[in-house]
Amino acid sequence: MPAAPLVSVVIPAYNAEKTIRNAVHSVLEQTMADLEVIVVDDASTDGTTRVVEGIGDPRIRLVKSPSNRRCSAARNLGLKHALGPWVTFLDADDEFVADRLESLLGVALREGECFVGDRLAPAVPGYGARLMPLASRGSAGQDRARALDYGEASRWGACTFPLVPRATLARHGIEFPEWGSGGDWAFLVARLCAVGLKGMSVCRVGYLTRVTGRHDSSTLRAIEEQLSVHDRLADAPDVPEPVKERLRRGRPGIRRRLIVASLREHRWKKFAYYARRSPGDLLWLPASVVRFLWRRLRYLFSRSS
């Protein structure tokens, strides 16, 4: 029986035939090769399975969900099949920077049992439809590791799924919340901090997240789920009080995003509901609209250049 890989990368995929090939290749082409890619097809109705099976790399394993249960459940299913002592996650329309796993693993092996995160960058398709960041990713010298806790991660707004010891997840029964898919990385980091696992951050971009130009932040549904994640964590008995306080401080920002998203998606009843609950949040609308228009212009410019 072949030895277990060092790192397992779980990719949940639903109707992702246009992007899954590049997502998988961004893992297979990492500067370290001792890995496996677990693609969880969440009952796709398009050619996602066909594309994955056509890649033809023995490091890929395809797991099929019998029904569409959304990203969190698909990640949990992928975790059950993971073999590596270290595990991380990638969305089916995003990509890793080529040396992401080597960078995170170097810190993890040096620090012992810990989780290691890095930053994400908004990106758009470039040459060969591979993702290119909208802005410079910074110099290579910015990969120095430092301690990370949930409060710091929640203030970043640009953190993403960390590299995690699989044994810690199993020992503490940590899974993604299947009652909502918003704020998954925040939920994972908060749970890891709650069980006392040391966190480290690498101050460099390792994860490229696709920007569509239509919704540069989250959809209304995803933001509502993110708020639900925060509220449940804030009420959990095993979450330390400092983490709960940081969660409470982050709630107004999520609430303001609900108003912006409901307006942007023309969900007028939702807009009226959230505006009535927090009239003062309406004062943030002008700045939010300006930021959205600026991101939209950057997206259009990147597509035309």
- Residue 178's pLDDT is 75
Q: Which CATH class is domain 7-210?
A: alpha beta
Q: Is pLDDT of 155 > 60? A: no
Q: What tokens were used for 239?
A: 């979450």
Range 209-226 average pLDDT: 66
- Residue 152's pLDDT is 59
Q: What tokens were used for 61?
A: 């394993």
Check residues 199 and 281 and name the one with the higher pLDDT. Answer: 199
Q: Where are the alpha helices (DSSP H) in 195-284?
A: 220-235, 241-264, 268-277
Domain ranges of the chain: 7-210, 220-304
Check residues 186 and 151 and name the one with the higher pLDDT. Answer: 186
How do residues 27-82 score in pLDDT, each as one tens digit?
A: 999 999 999 999 999 999 999 999 999 998 999 999 999 998 888 899 999 999 99
Range 262-286 average pLDDT: 79
How far does the chain reach from its first CA to its final CA, in angstroms? 50
Look at residues 89, 41, 38, 90 and name the one whose alpha carbon lies nearest to residue 64. 41
Q: Rounded CA gap, 87 and 167, in Å?
A: 10
Mean pLDDT of the chain: 82
